[in-house]
């Protein structure tokens, strides 16, 4: 597989992002898991506005992103994978697994260290969880996350193809497991042995602290089981659990300007 399959993968990522967003939206509208507490239109306008803001922030503040780093690493043969004689397909699989582990550890760090938690808390301050919650991250967190990915790409020697596939998988899985959609329990029980399901991730958005700090995985569910951060179900059940954080309960805090300033006000 050539290292330059995608000269400009932006349209591929955008097309798949829109397609998955629409599919998850239809799914959670047809089969909602919970009743929403805040008008959908209000949350959606502000949550999706963060996507545009974060995209502009990345372009303005970061000299390179993960894909560009992968092209540089490939051209200069930097990183672990460029020193190994393994089939291309195996390297891509290993890259996706290791990157998913790194994202898990990064997520854990954002919960464990108070300055990082203040930034990440904005994601948890959403009073409902649906597909748009997957896009709701503070610009500072987006920048820090991209820096981590770029460093991982250089250290591991991730190929451009692998980073594009990983970012598509990560975004699609995040939209899937944030969806306010009902999945048959029998199917959920099978899927969560391998990947993070909506019911599994929803526990992570509970207002109960011990539940907030559990289920950190985005794609593969194995990390939570291996590192003892897995919690199967919310204490109050999915329909009765309260979403969010205790200190931010005002509906007006879901406005874009409030979201941006939350880390500095609470």
Taking only the tens place, the pLDDT of each residue in 98-128 is: 999 999 999 999 999 999 999 999 999 999 9
Q: Is the pLDDT of residue 6 over 70?
A: no
| Mean pLDDT of all residues in 206-210 | 98
Chain Cα centroid distance, residue 175? 8
Considering the domain boundaries, does residue 30 fall inside one? no
Angle in degrees, 0-180, between the axes of helices 40-61 and 256-265, rounded to the nearest 10: 70
The verdict on residue 49 lying in a domain is yes
Range scoring the smallest mean pLDDT among 59-63, 65-69, 140-144, 213-217 = 59-63
Tokens of residue 49, six digits: 């506005």
Residue 26 lies in a domain: no
Residues 38-54: what's their mean pLDDT? 95
> Quick check: is 5 in a domain?
no
Q: Report residue 7's pLDDT band, with 50, 70 and 90 as the boundaries.
A: low
Assigned domain for 35 exists: no
Spatial CA neighbour of 171 closest among 244, 90, 66, 69: 66
Report how far apart, in Å, the C-alpha atoms of 188 and of each of 61, 88, 145 are. Answer: 40, 32, 29
- Number of structural domains found in the chain: 1
Residue 8 covered by a domain? no
User: Per-residue pLDDT tens for 145-203?
Assistant: 999 999 999 999 999 999 999 999 999 999 999 999 999 999 999 999 999 999 999 99
Phi, psi for residue 77 in degrees, rounded to 5: 60, 40
User: Tokens standing for 211?
Assistant: 């539940």
> Whole-prediction pTM value?
0.93
Q: Write out the two tokens for 197.
A: 């399901």
> What domain range is 146 assigned to?
41-265
State the Cα–Cα distance between residues 173 and 8, nearest whole angstrom.
Answer: 22
Does residue 11 sit within a domain? no
Query: Tell me, what's the pLDDT at 3?
Result: 43
> Is the pLDDT assigned to residue 1 strictly greater than 80?
no
Any domain includes 36: no
Q: Which residues contact residue 32 at a Cβ distance below 8 angstroms, ignoring those fewer than 6 apart?
A: 180, 181, 182
Average pLDDT taken over every residue of the chain? 95
């Amino acid at each position: 597989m050539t290292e330059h399959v995608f000269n400009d993968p932006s349209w591929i990522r955008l097309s798949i992002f829109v397609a998955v967003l629409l599919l998850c939206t239809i799914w959670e509208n047809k089969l909602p898991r919970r009743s929403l507490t805040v008008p959908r239109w209000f949350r959606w306008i502000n949550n999706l506005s963060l996507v545009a803001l974060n995209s502009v922030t990345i372009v303005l503040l970061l000299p390179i992103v993960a894909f560009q780093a992968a092209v540089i690493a490939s051209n200069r043969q930097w990183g672990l994978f460029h020193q190994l004689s393994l089939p291309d397909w195996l390297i891509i699989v290993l890259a996706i697994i290791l990157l998913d582990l790194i994202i898990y550890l990064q997520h854990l760090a954002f919960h464990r260290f108070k300055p990082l938690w203040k930034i990440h808390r904005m994601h948890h301050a959403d009073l409902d969880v649906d597909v748009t919650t997957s896009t709701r991250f503070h610009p500072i967190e987006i920048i820090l996350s991209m820096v981590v990915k770029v460093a991982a790409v250089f250290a591991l020697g991730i190929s451009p193809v692998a980073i594009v596939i990983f970012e598509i998988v990560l975004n699609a899985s995040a939209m899937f497991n944030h969806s306010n959609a009902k999945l048959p329990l029998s199917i959920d029980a099978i899927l969560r042995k391998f990947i993070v399901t909506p019911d599994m991730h929803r526990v992570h958005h509970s207002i109960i602290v011990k539940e907030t700090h559990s289920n950190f995985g985005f794609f593969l569910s194995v990390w939570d089981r291996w590192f003892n951060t897995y919690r199967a179900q919310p204490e109050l059940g999915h329909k009765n659990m309260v979403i969010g954080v205790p200190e931010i309960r005002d509906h007006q805090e879901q406005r874009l300007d409030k979201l941006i300033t939350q880390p500095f006000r609470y």
